[in-house]
A and B are shown apart, each in its own frame.
Chain A
């Protein structure tokens, strides 16, 4: 090889090798759509908060749907050919928690609530770091309140032994099994944080206080419950970003599985149809498939896109105060309820005279005021837990009306799917124990 060739060759080799070190060739604009640094800004933190706020209602809508199925709010109708074995909502409607817990599907109820809890937890550090002082407290209050709301809903709906899992610094931190009261305690702590940060936002104050009142009611701390909601005005409403149609996507077709309003479902159910109560406006769907003489109904709640799901309100604050009053044997329970009813043109209530019937009346009022807002299962379980009612006196029971010859199960809470948790969560070794 001549010297000239050697030099030329060397230049080419050096050029080749030099390209390896030329990092400018490897500068890419953005290896993914949005990077973590992109949202480490005021706008990014607020955008994250807003998405959690949006999904708060969406996730809860799915939770409320399951509560409605499990309780007497909704009933199902399906054609004989329907494959119902793997239909989660129908198994919920049948109160077959045993079937659900043994299933292999995804865990809708726990999953949706965990999503709210963990996503709000992810956003809290961002809001703390980047939100302006003027709004930081309000935003943190909202996020903590949503976390508290999610855990409260878990405690009210799920069977004891469910985990509360969080994501901290991009690492999943699995939770161990919790009793109902422990979970309510966790919810209470989150809501206390919300109340610590909240200042003058009426909406977020209402959300935090009413949810805290609900927690206290569940824990049997009646006076504290009444005190915490006392300052919430009756006309205040915290609505989700989702309209109620997300729950009520009911339609009728000859071959579909149909959601319809319960009407004395399983003997113990309330007459959500036959009461013709203006708080639950009706829409006729069509004949029941098994028994065509029955008519299926949906509600027109949410017929307007602006009808958003109510998550906490002054009305609920008054209902909490009424329940505390009834619990304390105060006569004030009825004026509180009557005031709410007359406000929408309903007649005042007639006092049934006995403690049990008064309690039934109060819970009937709660059921109609809080229809399809995920409260009903917590109410029924509180009737068992706090008031000593038998499960078979409050939940739908007896022959299941689906035409498949089955009967209602005995579950009083919604289980998580054991198989899914066993795959991931090292602290979960067995399923939860059904109970109030």
Chain B
């Protein structure tokens, strides 16, 4: 084989120029340099020409007739000499539907020696192949590398097609692609990749020659020709009436400080909020919300689909018995998936989610595709990134909520006698004492042995993958191991006290380091091409994790203030006294969760005809979870001999999908018909055992003298069928209409399918001939879109059927099985219904600014709400009322500067979501009360409470610095304090590329605004009546005193923040060094996560929100949200090596 590299652009123009010069009879191959702009313009025209769809049905026609029919369908002028085609007399039968002109012509001419040559004037001509090449050879090779235009880094996984799917491949780790045995002649090579603008070029292949065609792709927010994979198969973005956000996970993970899926999702999709319940806890749970909340009590998280399988991503199981033992922070199942195994993530936010993925997707869908193998040589990739995390507890530990012990010291009035007891505000007012000094003490801050409760803790993340295969079989295998130790640990002072209490010389590692996690991930993917029309892919993910959870009140070291020995005691003296106080630690527990999880999927594609495609996927997500916990130190009840809990759950998700897509392109119209059905089965089967009165010193539940056992059980199956029709006009206007029928057993034993419609429209305005002048002025793609959809949310089973509890106990001197109805049934319960409209605009201006704007409006009716009933009676569920949500999302990307050596880009997004309770329906009338605190006219997640307007010092007569009796004047009735989930979020992502991509820097800054949170420290301090105005400047003394009544409204603060989330600097090893090390790729990244936080309100990290709960987070002045462990700052160095 002769290997050569030909400049395709030059060759293309050379062909055209030569054709013009030589007349129509003969065309000679030549290479000629032309002006780049002219070449580009000509390429575009020719490309457009050969891409035109043709629909042809010809039976036993002559070659001339066939060619003319094709040309007519494509509205193209085809020139040739009659003699040239007269010699071919074989009758031709062909049926093409919406087939690219170039492909149709190639096939018609396949058994001839004729080839098509574009001509400058926009027509095509026919020529002898021998005139186009040096000999009579028939095939060649096309290969090349796909790179990022800014970083010049190879792009792995880009989709490359030859002649619109005649052949298809993906780039390997080094961005390479290759097509073998490509027939000689003109061919169209197109490259698509998530997050980049599509590119296509025409190449001419000569016999036995290798044509090298490299691509450099420009990043893009949403290019209209980007392909997204929805439940109805792959669709171009321009056809969709709704927005789909995509994340190129592989690229992000390599160059951003993310170690988990939740970190990968954080601040990368406008409208998607990732709430970390306790950021500082390793393995802690996260909650996803898309466009806020549309329900009060049902699961408000979007569904997660991994390779077509429903993936359990949260701990919502629809029962009240799903909490982890000992209040330990729940572990987040979302992060069981290894981010290094993810190829792409698509986030479906709009009203189409439930149309595509069923009623459970009413909150949106996160669709994850894991990595697949690529045909070619075996490729290895090894990565490792050790990191160090630390929590910040300085003297201004405003983001940590450790309790403070306070002791007021005073003397009895008119004496020098020390007042025995707490000289608090009351004692002062009663003239029992005169305050002399105040001892403020916090173990985490004052422990001289550590000076902090949190240590810097290293973690280790490492893994490797191998992939490769042939055209017919590809594989990808990977393994990953993470070992992390949480920053929080038992302070030495507490450890000493605990050793005394337990009577042991050393504490176990589980007590000293209560928060650790080890995770092993194995991923395997094999893909097989059965024949030209059939492909099968099998994917498996296995996760094994062990996590020690932590109760946020782990630090509840009590009674220290009771041990403060003398006025003026220093920390050391206090600690010595505390050590002597055997009751100082009243409650300490350890928990451990062991998880084994297997997710398998089989996906098959059958395309018997170019216009017909069937997609089948079946899969299951199984996990076995064992939660064990033990209270190391019991309560202060001497009869309590300790407690242990054991909770075992097996979660099963099984689902199957069958989809059928038919496309037709008659003339200027196109039709895309999709039919499909989804089956989903969910089951949670578990046992929860509580054991009390353990053997002395034991944490083993088997030693408990008393055990209670509950069975945990939920089960549901659902089935849905959908049909969708997309009608296109001139490839620039698309109308979508669909109908879905869904039913579920969660709604009771009778399956009744409910229909839900969807309509959508997408109009690529910029393709209209009328706006062509604007194109010349710099306007790029401009599209308007609209989508409307309706869906229903099914109640969980117990909501309709009520609940009957079962337990075992000793009654009438025998162990008996006992039953009791614990919740009334409601046979009339309806599903929640919601409908959502979405309007959007996508625009590109001067090729440097890309803008996306989306408005949406959602309405939820028959929202489910529990009717609580007075104490002693049984509650039930009601369809309570109506909710609304509306908002908008803006994304913008700006190429600030770009050259071959340097490029500066800025991306940003802003999202605003506003919710409102429109009515509470029949539940608010007729005397029935609701347990939640949703109030008509106020947002969801609202907080209500009273504020102290003033405090009347009745004993002292007038307010002064001494509070005698905190009779407060409170706001009445309860007032709205704010919304606990911030409605506004924003991100800014600048990136800088230097030295032609060898050095890459990026950072991510994000924040939120418009929300509130509670200030735990102020509340606690004031609640002890010991604070002085000088100690807590933020809370007036009078209000502190009034806290005795607990007006939480006095402690509401803004939760606004701006966080410097990510910083990354990546450098490529020099080529010479890579060559010496035999590495094809080698990069080192310095990464920092959570580098800085700016928040106007003290109290706690606004992102460490406890108690967001399920759908509701119904505020109601609840006390949750006080505590929270801050997001740790993590420094890491990542090495990515490919031999």
Interface, chain A (partner B; CB < 8 A): 1, 5, 8-9, 12-13, 15-17, 19-20, 22-23, 25-36, 38-39, 43-44, 47-48, 50-55, 79-81, 83, 85-86, 106-108, 110-115, 118-119, 122, 165, 167, 170-172, 174, 241, 245, 249, 251, 253-256, 404-405, 420-421, 423-426
Contact = CB atoms under 8 A, between A and B. Distances in A.
B716 interface: yes
Contacts of A241: 809-812
A32 B1044 contact: no
Task: Name the residue among A5, A33, A113 with the largest chain B CB count within 10 angstroms.
Answer: A33
A425 B870 contact: yes
B1067 interface: no
A213 B927 CA distance: 37
Contact of A16 (B660, B746, B802): B660
B874 A172 contact: yes
B869 A424 contact: yes
Interface string B838-858: 000000000000000000000
Given A28-B717, A30-B715, A253-B583, 11 more contacts: A5-B612, A34-B804, A34-B806, A34-B819, A50-B818, A52-B820, A85-B1045, A106-B870, A254-B562, A420-B871, A426-B926
Contact of B713 (A19, A33, A114, A404): A33
A13 B722 CA distance: 11
Contacts of A26: 717-719, 743, 745, 751
B797 to A, nearest CB: 4
Interface string B617-643: 000000000000000000011110000
Nearest to B804: A34
A377 to B, nearest CB: 19
Given A9-B662, A26-B719, A80-B422, A251 B797 contact: no
Given A35-B804, A51-B807, A114 B872 contact: yes
Interface string B535-566: 00000000000000000000000110010000
Interface stretch (B75-83, B280-288, B671-679, B890-898): B671-679
A22 B679 CA distance: 11
Nearest to A163: B870
A70 B397 CA distance: 45
A51 B818 contact: yes
A424 B876 CA distance: 13
B469 interface: no
B265 to A, nearest CB: 32
A54 B809 contact: yes
Interface size range of chain B in the complex:
35 or more
B98 to A, nearest CB: 13
B717 A25 contact: yes
B198 to A, nearest CB: 29
Given A34-B804, A255-B562, A28 B1044 contact: no
Contacts of A420: 870-871
Task: Name the residue among A31, A79, A165, A421 with the largest chain B CB count within 10 angstroms.
Answer: A31
B741 interface: yes
A111 B872 contact: yes
30 contacts: A9-B660, A12-B658, A15-B658, A19-B721, A20-B719, A28-B715, A31-B715, A31-B716, A31-B746, A32-B713, A33-B711, A33-B712, A36-B804, A39-B804, A47-B806, A47-B816, A48-B820, A85-B1044, A107-B872, A112-B871, A118-B873, A119-B821, A165-B873, A167-B873, A245-B639, A251-B636, A254-B583, A255-B559, A423-B870, A424-B868
Nearest to B748: A31
Task: Name the residue among A43, A255, A256 with the largest chain B CB count within 10 angstroms.
Answer: A255
Contact of A28 (B662, B716, B1026): B716
A172 B870 CA distance: 11
Contacts of A171: 824
Interface of B: 421-422, 424, 426-427, 430, 558-559, 562, 583, 608-609, 611-612, 614, 636-639, 658, 660, 662, 664, 675-677, 679, 711-719, 721, 741, 743, 745-746, 748-749, 751, 753, 797-798, 801-807, 809-812, 816-821, 824-825, 868-874, 926-929, 1023-1026, 1044-1046
A255 B564 CA distance: 13
A50 B608 CA distance: 66
B751 A86 contact: no
Contacts of A118: 872-874
A48 B639 contact: no
Contact of A33 (B426, B614, B803, B868): B803
Nearest to A13: B675
Contacts of B749: 31
Contact of A114 (B741, B801, B809, B870): B870
Contacts of A80: 421-422, 424, 426-427
A290 B811 CA distance: 43
B94 to A, nearest CB: 14
Nearest to B586: A253
A86 B583 CA distance: 25
Contacts of A172: 824, 869, 873-874
Nearest to A16: B677
Contacts of B927: 174, 424-426
B817 A111 contact: no
Contacts of A114: 870-873
A294 B424 CA distance: 23
Given A5-B609, A165-B873, A32 B818 contact: no
Contacts of A48: 818-821
Nearest to B612: A5
A255 B889 CA distance: 53
Task: Name the residue among B718, B811, B926 with the largest chain A CB count within 10 angstroms.
Answer: B811
Nearest to B966: A85
B943 to A, nearest CB: 16
